[in-house]
Amino acid sequence: MLGVLIFSFGISLAIKMSYLGLHPWDVLNVGFYDIYGLSIGTWNIIIGVILIIIALVLDHTYVRLGTLLNVMLIGLLVDFYLWTDLLPNPTNLPLDITFMILGIVIMGFGGGLYNAAGLGSGPRDGFMLSIADKTGYPIGRVRIIIELIILVIGLVIGGPVFIFTFIFTFVQSPIFEYSYLKFTKMIEKRQKEINYS
């Protein structure tokens, strides 16, 4: 739950600075929001549910309780954070870049934390892992191809694509990997301590 709270906050902070560019999936959410209304969090939920259904059809391995909680809670929390006045508004480029980088770091940290709990992949991760399993292609290649397709769709519908759209991949992924491995080790160590006591 803490990981989901942190991850959602990072997404929301980045969305506030969206003129600098967003992660491909958030480009899609914001693009649909601009065209059809509803809310950014609602589009996050709708797209997440579609991806869960596809993942279930392909391979139900990656859909668990945490996947369902992820899709609902992150959408609701993103809307909550954007609705409140907790987040800064864009003011000047150097400060906005700082907030955007902070948002990316927070997302990587929060994503690593909630995935380390082992309660199920997020809908986007589960979808990509299912595709990789079915096709036999490496996960990294599948992720790049899918996110490029999503990016093109987001660009076509008018989502916010700019320099940070590409920076996301290079900054967020290593932070996610580092925090995921770190928290996984902490959880495993704690489980061993509980088993021995």
Residue 63 confidence (pLDDT): 82
| Structural contact between residues 84 and 31, judged by C-beta atoms closer than 8 angstroms | no
- pLDDT at position 14 over 70: yes
Residue 197 confidence (pLDDT): 67
Show the CA angle centred on residue 13, arms to residues 121 and 2, nearest 5°: 45
Residue 115 confidence (pLDDT): 79
Compute the radius of gyration of the chain from its Cα atoms.
17
Residues 6+ apart with CB under 8 A from 92: none
pTM of the model: 0.86
Q: How high does pLDDT run on average in the chain? A: 87
- pLDDT at position 47 over 90: yes
The percentage of residues in the chain with a pLDDT greater than 90, rounded to a whole number, is 37
Q: Which helix (H) or strand (E) holds 75?
A: helix 65-83
The pLDDT tens digits of the residues spanning 65-106 come to: 888 889 999 999 999 999 998 899 999 899 999 999 999 999
Spatial distance between the Cα atoms of 100 and 85, rounded to a whole number of angstroms: 17
How far the first Cα of the chain sits from its last, in Å, is 26
Work out the number of other CB atoms within 10 angstroms of the CB of residue 190. Answer: 10
- pLDDT at position 165 over 90: no
Range with the poorest average pLDDT among 19-23, 25-29, 62-66, 101-105? 62-66
